[in-house]
Amino acid sequence: MASLQDISPPIALGALDGRYRRVVSALVEHLSEPALNRQRLHIEIEWLIHLTEHHVVPGAGSLSPQEQASLRALVEEFDAAAIGELATIEAETVHDVKAVEYFLRRRLTDRLDDRGDLAELVHFAATSEDINNLAYALMVRGAVQQVWLPAARQLVAQVAQMARHLADLPMLAHTHGQAATPTTMGKELAVSAHRLTRQLRRVEQAGYLGKFNGATGTYGAHLAAVPEADWQRVSLEFVTGLGLTWNPLTTQIESHDWQAELYADLARFNRVLHNLCTDVWSYVSMGYFAQVRGQGSVGSSTMPHKVNPIRFENAEANLEVSNSLLDVLASTLVTSRLQRDLTDSSMQRNVGTALGHSLLALDNVRRGLDGLDASPEAMAADLEANWEVLAEPVQSAMRALAAAGHEGMANPYDRLKELTRGRRVSGPDLRAFVRQLGLPSEVEERLAALTPDGYVGLAPDLVDHLDV
């Protein structure tokens, strides 16, 4: 038997880099290993430029605008050759950040004539985590803001559009899985859109923190080398110049609390979306939605009549995988033994997988919703079969009359329970009951005219609260 390990190009081990690569490939720009090295290179170059431009180290040379541009172009031109060269260097250093440092030192010779005088300012006074924490902050921010958030906003807008379109479509509610006070399909979808929007705003407001303060967060090497520099100001200006929020108090690592907060918010969005998936799956099962588009697809391998709600089922699975990773990221990244351990190094390499499964779920749900048509007939049939849900408005009207001093309105709940519990009630049954209660004529007529599909309260108007 031929070995799959020997096939070239290499076969992907994981689903995201194999079967679902097309959907999640945009995350490669931000959360892959080469993206990490590219951001490390970016940080090293910007640190070198910052030191020289602000004359932090007395007597050190400076870089001309042309030289700065030439170095920054290394990031823009980062390609397969650069990736391969870094891999070769790392095989010798057995240290990923050191490999980037040596890569940049080579480029001072290759790109800039006679600038070996600046070689010792590459990675000056920096620990690996000074580079890594800033690289990860920029990577995660880019992935969330440029890839995940646009996809999530698109989906929420789609749900909100469906909610508005179906705002007036009456539907039997099913609290505890039982027939309950009618609502509208639009209002129920609006609840999901509203919940998702709240979580989106939390993600949009996330802070991305960074630090640059040395091996134990004390600026020890900085002060020893250049005691006259205001190193806190240098650090603050460098970190904020990257568009990040400066963290002044850390150990060797930036504490990762911001990551834990962000991942918790992403996981909560996922859980709300998972709830939408299970609800829509149930509505499909009830016949409230028909899966009528894309008829060329195979729904079941053995039953020709079936169109399975696989988009929502796949989304559930991917959301669960995403959340398992987001949860462990959030719970473990906030802890580091004493001033440093390396558990975060391996852990953070899973951020791309966590966001990838969430992104895949967003695509699943979007395509699933695209393939649905509401079925008013099925909803109307369920409403017509459950007139007993009108026991609630009748007994509520009787309570209001009793509170106002009307006689004959005692024990309305028990009287309606006796009529409706454990049995089907037809329209004529309910109207006959209403007419023998001795209600004021205007109340009697209002309740006698009530139907299940008309008993939706303010549901259609509530959809207007959406601000998506």
40 SS3 class: helix
CA dist., res. 100 & res. 135, Å (int): 12
The SS3 call for residue 342 is: coil
CB–CB of 356/27 below 8 Å?
A: yes
C-alpha–C-alpha distance, residues 124 and 132, integer Å:
15
Residues 266 and 358: beta-carbon distance below 8 Å: yes
Catalytic residue among 3, 176, 301, 346: 176
In 3-state terms the chain splits into helix, strand, coil percentages (rounded to 5) of 65, 5, 30
CB 98 within 8 A of CB 185: no
Q: List the beta bridge partners of residue 423.
A: none
Establish whether 300 is a catalytic residue: yes
Q: In Å, how far from its chain's centre is CA 263?
A: 8
Whether residue 54 lies in the annotated active site: no
CA-closest candidate to residue 371, choices 428, 460, 296, 263: 296
Q: Which of 107, 101, 93, 143 is nearest to 122 (CA)?
A: 101
- Distance, CA of 188 to CA of 279 (rounded, Å): 9
Beta carbons within 10 angstroms of residue 421's beta carbon: 10
420 phi/psi in degrees, rounded to 5: -110, -30
174 within 8 A of 180, measured Cβ to Cβ: yes
71: nearest Cα among 44, 93, 32: 44
Contact 44, 104 (CB under 8 A): yes
Nearest to 42 by CA among 85, 8, 82: 82
Measured between alpha carbons, how far is residue 306 from residues 115, 298, 302, 309, 310 in Å? 70, 8, 9, 9, 11
Spot the catalytic one: 62, 64, 300, 324: 300
Half-sphere exposure in the Cβ direction for 383 (13 Å, CA):
24
Half-sphere exposure of 279 (CA within 13 A, CB side): 18
Q: Is 404 within 8 Å of 440 (Cβ atoms)? A: no
Structure tokens at 231: 């190193």
Element (H, E) at 169: none
Could you list the active site residues?
A: 176, 300
